[in-house]
Structures are given as C-alpha cells and as structure tokens.
Amino acid sequence: MNLIAAWAPLLDSLPMAGWIIELAGQTVVAANPEATRLLESPVAELLGRRVTQWLATPEDIAYWADIATGRYAPLRSDSLVCTPGGGTLPVERHVQPLPGGAAGVPTHALVTLRDRSGEQRAEDEREAVVAELQATLESTGDGILVTDLEGRVRAFNRRFGQIWAVPEELLEARDSTGIHDWMRRRTLDAEGYDRRLAALRAAPLLSSTERLELVEGQTVQRVTRPLWGRAGPQGRVYSFSDQTELVKVRALSETLSSHDALTRLPNRTLLAEKVAEAALRWRREQQPFALLVVDLDHFRRVNDSFGQQVANRVLCEVAERIGAALRSQDVLARIGGDNFAALLQDADQASAQKAVLRVLKVVNTQPFDADGTPFSLTCSVGIALCPQDGQALDDLVRQAEAAVRRAKAAGRAGYRFAEPVPGGDAHSHVRMVHAMREALKAGHFRLHYQPQIRFRDGAVCGAEALLRWRDPQLGEIAPAAFIPVAEDSGFIVTLGSWVLSQAVRQAALWHEAGRSLTVAINVSALQFRQPDFVSQVADVLAVSGLPAHLLELELTESILVEKADEALERLQALDRLGVQLALDDFGTGYSCLGALKRMPIGRLKIDRSFVAGLPDDDTDVGLVRAISQLAQALGKRVVAEGVENEAQRRFLAELGCESFQGFLYAPAMDPASFERHLPPPRPRPMPTAGGRHIRLVR
Ligand code: C2E
Ligand code: CA
Ligand code: CA
C-alpha cells in the first residue's frame, strides 16, 4: 500500500494511461485518469481485474507467464488493448517491473499504454499513398527508377526491368549494386555512362536528358530529375524510354527528305543547298561552276514497253553511269522522273563541255538491258554556267532546262549551252497558256474520277478527281504535258478554282443522292498559297451544301518547304473547316518528319512509282514498308495509288494501308461510269422543309 501511495503522484501525472499491477496476482491495484479515459471505465471497475483482461496478445500472455515464473524484465512494443465495447485499440505498451520487495525483487509493475490509433491511421494512409504511387509508376509507358542520393534503389516499375532486361532476382532483392552494375554493363559506352552518373551524383539538383546506346542495339532515352523532399533533394528519379524505333524512323526520314528514294541520289533540296554553297564560293573566290540537266529521251517508251519495274532499274543504272562519269566533288541529283541534274564544281565552259561529253558517252553509246533484252537509250543535256547564266538553283535549272529542250528539238542525244535570251520555247509556252485559257472558256476541260477502295471491306470509299483536256484538233492532252505549264504560268490558280468548284458540285450531287463518298482534288502549291484559298474552299462548300469532311485536298510536299509557318497556319484553318488533308506523292519529295508531325494532315499517299515494284523489288518493298512505318509513327493513314495487280494489292493490305486506287480496280472515268461502281443509293432521311430534292444530274 505504501508503495502504491508512493507511486500515485507519478502515475497521475503521466500524460498517458497507466496502471500499477501487483505481480503476485497480476491484477490492477491503481490506475490513473488517462487509463479510465482510454478504457472508458471508472477506476473502481479497473481495480482488481487481471491485466490480461485488456492485454491479451500472444506476446502479452507470454510475458505475464514469464513474470509468474519470476523472470522480471521490462517489455516495450506495439500491442493492442481490448476495449469494453469488444474492439481493440493500437497502443504502445510499456511494462516496467518496480523494485519493492526484499532484496529488490519486484512486487509491482508500472504499465503504460500510449494510444497509437492516430499514428496507425497516418500509417494506413501512407500505405495507401504508396500503393497509389506504385500504381501510377506502373501505369506509365516509361521505365522508372527512383534512388536516394547515394544511388540506393528506392523504387522502380516493371517497365524499368523490361527495358533494361534486369534479371528478376536482382529486382526482387532490390540489389542496388547489382542493378547499377547490370545497367552499366548493358550500355555500349560503359565509361561514359559511369562518368555521367558520377557527375549526376555530384550535382543532386541537376536535371538532364540523354540518349544511351545499349549493347543489343537499342536506343534508350534517360531523363533524370531530382527527387524533392521537404529538406531539399532526397535522391533522383530516372525515367527511361525505348526509342529504338523512333530513332530508326527519324534517320530514315532524314534520308528521305534529302535524297531521292529510288536512286539514293541527293534530291532537289540537297542540290539547292550545294548550289548555294557553290554560289558563295563564286562570290568569295571567283570559282565558277556549272549545272547540267540531263533528260532521258523518250523514257516513257521504256516504261511502256518493259514496265515500271524495269524502268526503275534503268533509272538507277543511268544514275550510276552518270555518277561514274563525274568527278568525286561533283554532286549528282535526281530532280524529276527521268531528270537528273549535276553540279560541276570549279568548272568553266570548257571543262563543263568535257564532262557532258563523258556523260553522253556512258549513257548514249552503251546498251541497257531489260531482263535479257538489250536496248539503247539516249539522253539530252542542257548546261547552265555560273556566273553567266545565274547563281541560284532555280535560275540555273530553268536555263539548263530550256537548253535541254533545244537539244531535244535539234534531234536529241546531244547537248546545248544555255542562251542568255529565251528562245522559241518561250513562244510555245505562251501559246499553250493561251490555248488553256480558251479551252476552259470553251468547256474542253472536264474531271474524271478514279475510285478509291477501302481494304477493310472492299467498298468504294472515295474518288480522286483528275483533270482531262480534250482539244478538238489535237485530241486528249495529258496532264503531265499541260499541268507543269499551267503551274509555271500561274494559270493553275484559275484552273484549280474551276476544279475545286466542279468537284465539290459533283460530290454534293452524289451526297444528296445518298451516295456519300470523299472526293479528293489535287491542289497545286501555287494555288494553295493564294491568300484567299481557304475562304474560297469555305465558300464553295457553303454554296454546295457538301459536308466539309467529304472533300479532301491532296497537297504536295513542296508546300511544306517554303514558308512552313504560313503553310501550317493555312492547313490549320482548313482543318478547322473540317476538310480532309492528304499528302500526295509521298516519298518522292522533301518531307521532313518534324514539319509533317505538326501538320493536321490525315493521310499520306504512297506514290505509284513505289507501288510499281511491289512485291518483288527489294528497294520498293523496303521503301513502302518504311513509309508505312513512318505513317504509323506519325499517326497518319495511308492510301496507295497506282495499284495494278493483285500481288500489289495484297502486299499493301497486309501492310495495314487504309485504301488504294489503281488500274486493278479502275482508271479515272466520267461521273456516269463512276456511278456504276457504286452500290445503289441508300435512302436518305427526308429533306427538311425547304430542302431541295436533287436528281442525279450528269
Ligand atoms: P497524281 O496526283 O499522282 O495522280 C495519279 C495519276 O496516276 C493519274 O494520272 C492517274 O490517272 C494515274 N494512275 C492511276 N492509277 C494508276 C495505275 O494503276 N497505274 C498507273 N501507271 N497510273 C495510274 P493523270 O491523270 O495523268 O495525272 C497526272 C498528274 O497530273 C497527277 O498525278 C497530278 O499531279 C496532276 N493533276 C491531275 N489533275 C490535276 C488537277 O486537277 N489539279 C492539279 N493541280 N494537278 C492535277
Ligand atoms: Ca493526286
Ligand atoms: Ca502520285
């Protein structure tokens, strides 16, 4: 009793629940007000009860059993206390035997219970947050690794393990050293990797993005940022993304944008750069240069007699032969179907002439071979000189092309130098433009429509409008003959407006007749650049009542080259109108992945020159595959043109193209013939009051 009285003030002043337990009976002999609050019972009810009535975990029971056998030791751990309501409460329970009896043998013990329910809740919440964080980590496509400042692994997600192919046992054991060592050994430049990591560790605030090459050929991008705690940086978060495919596609797109896909020669863009450099050298060092334009004579005959595949092989061989006839510092480029251009560095009239004679010799005097059939082919060459004929690529090409035309007019297989004054060509050009103006007035132009077929269900889902010109005397004149002249002279703007309104009217008629399909028109770069082009499209749509999404504009890659920002704005305005946009002749031009990605262009049209060699020509197969991958990476759909046989169709279908057009299904035809390829019209909902009922007019 004395003892209890002695302990009483201390017991009452404890900030937590406390009991004095009499060890012989293990019963409560004193309790403080906090204890009555915690156990929701008055002191009187607590007194005389056995301690194990409240503290009944296996650990507590074992402890009190030990006490009974005279083993007196303190006990401190987390436990549960039974509440009168039948529940439990988490507590930190501390038992301290109190020396009292003879020879200091404990007779009593002080038990304190600290309520941990608040902490427990916080801990539960923390666990939930951690679980959420883990789920977040797992939901990203990137591999995530979190370390502390010393590099010890704190967390990672599954994708991290996949990207680095980290062995499961290292991950399970969270073996920091093992994991780091593994990553180091998998990078191609292990020393550089070490150096970077050391630099990052030395600068905990540093963020960085870099690319790692792995030994298996993968490319992984590593982004790292500091992990912030309340007291400053606590470690690092690394995120890894596998960019192997992206890097491949980028490299390919870079080559595509500066090189001709068929011959692998530089294209016009790259040539323009080289000419600009040469012009600079002229201004600085007075080093003259020459530009040749090489045009194959009657190349269409090769196309017609042997097919496009052989024609493509011949073009490659021509490229090789011309290349071999030039010096290593000269630049040979392909600037059109059967047009090559060569920049001859440091060349005056005499040395240019010698080079041309070598070119004529290798092309004109040695036979070519078409699958065992020898045939001869000749070329004509035009030569423009800097500084006499100009310094810019366009001027030089124009001059050289005029010279080629004169060489051809003089019987082909020869060469001509540019003439300072434009000669007879200019007259025929002017005559042609005049004839086109008259033809438009006289109604000699019309549109034919080539069906586009959806691979998924074989349905005709669209039509490309193609311009036709029939002259009463001369007969049909091919677009390839008059479109370039129309473009050169600017008449294409007038002609293009006519095509736009004509095609939209036809599309509206089909739409009103319940035969909705997308009608695509070809838009020239010059037409696209007209300040009122967008409003013109909007007006034509408004007048016709055609839903905008049923009109598709086929644009060429050249619109993306000059004034790309302006082009982007215009494309976005058209996109807002709701019209569809496609990139025509994809792969032949200048497309740059960066620009293309930003453009609201939905479809890429694979040029028919690539389709021609499918599925046997390895170059075409590779190119078409690459284009389709590129399209996928950019999120664009793919249309193939020039599909002439079943093997080509099957190849493109398997590649995942969306639709195709070509002679296999049908050539372009007049609207009446076109309609025979459409299923019978679906009945359309009744027109609203005042709506017109239009019969299909041809
Ligand atoms: P494009 O835009 O590449 O048009 C496709 C051309 O391929 C058309 O030649 C079409 O008749 C032809 N074609 C279609 N299927 C096949 C096939 O299976 N095999 C082969 N070998 N050829 C096929 P087309 O009509 O002679 O037009 C030539 C080019 O003239 C067009 O090339 C386009 O650039 C231009 N063009 C035609 N109409 C217009 C127009 O209204 N406006 C503008 N700006 N250009 C036009
Ligand atoms: Ca086209
Ligand atoms: Ca094309």
Q: Kindly report, residue by residue over 1-43, the tens digit of the pLDDT.
A: 577 787 888 888 888 999 999 998 999 999 999 999 988 888 8
Distance 616 CA to ligand 2 centre (A): 25
259-418 falls under which CATH superfamily? Answer: Reverse transcriptase/Diguanylate cyclase domain (3.30.70.270)
What digits encode the pLDDT tens for the residues 500-540?
999 999 999 999 999 989 999 999 999 999 999 999 999 99
Cβ neighbors of 143 (< 8 A, separation 6 or more) are: 156, 157, 159, 160, 161, 162, 163, 164, 239, 240, 241
Main-chain dihedrals φ then ψ at residue 543, nearest 5 degrees: -65, -40
Question: Tokens 């007000």 sit at which residue?
Answer: 33
**What pLDDT is recorded for position 692?**
41
- Closest atom, ligand 1, to C-alpha of 487: 44
- Percentages (nearest 5) of helix, strand, coil residues in the chain: 45, 25, 30
Q: How many Å apart are CA 560 and CA 637, to the nearest integer?
A: 19
Statement: 2-115 belongs to CATH 3.30.450.20: yes
Q: What is the DSSP letter of 413?
A: S
- Closest atom, ligand 1, to C-alpha of 521: 41
- Domain chopping of the chain, boundaries: 2-115, 127-246, 259-418, 446-610+664-675
Residue type at 112 in one-letter notation:
T
Q: How confident is the model at residue 696 (pLDDT cuts 50, 70, 90)?
A: very low
Q: Tell me, yes or no, if the two domains 2-115 and 446-610+664-675 fold the same way.
A: no
**What pLDDT is recorded for position 292?**
96
Answer for the pair 113, 16: CB distance below 8 angstroms, yes or no.
Answer: yes
Q: How many Å apart are CA 440 and CA 450, to the nearest integer?
A: 22
Q: What is the pTM of this model?
A: 0.48
What digits encode the pLDDT tens for the residues 338-384?
999 999 999 998 899 999 999 999 998 888 998 888 888 999 999 99
**What pLDDT is recorded for position 693?**
38
Q: Has residue 691 got a pLDDT over 50?
A: no
Average confidence score pLDDT of the chain:
87
Site to probe by mutation for ligand 1, drawn from 452, 453, 483 as the one with most ligand atoms within 8 Å of Cβ, is 483
Percent pLDDT > 70 in the chain is 94
What digits encode the pLDDT tens for the residues 543-599?
999 999 999 999 988 787 667 788 899 999 999 999 999 999 887 655 566 677 778
- Closest atom, ligand 1, to C-alpha of 478: 26
Most confident of 208-217, 239-248, 452-461: 452-461
**What pLDDT is recorded for position 230?**
75
Residue 145 burial by CB count (10 A; 0-12/13-18/19+): exposed, middle or buried? buried
Q: Has residue 430 got a pLDDT over 80?
A: no
Statement: 446-610+664-675 belongs to CATH 3.20.20.450: yes
**What pLDDT is recorded for position 558?**
77
Helices (H) and strands (E) in the chain, counts: 26, 26
**What pLDDT is recorded for position 561?**
67
Q: What is the mean pLDDT of residues 630-636?
A: 87
Q: Has residue 336 got a pLDDT over 50?
A: yes
CATH architecture of residue range(s) 127-246: 2-Layer Sandwich (3.30)
Protein residue whose Cα sits closest to atom 35 of ligand 1:
479
Lining residues, ligand 1, CB within 6 Å = 450, 466-467, 478-480, 483, 492, 496, 499, 522, 524, 584-585, 608, 641-644, 661-663, 668
**What pLDDT is recorded for position 248?**
79
Distance 294 CA to ligand 2 centre (A): 26
**What pLDDT is recorded for position 283?**
78
Q: Has residue 199 got a pLDDT over 80?
A: yes
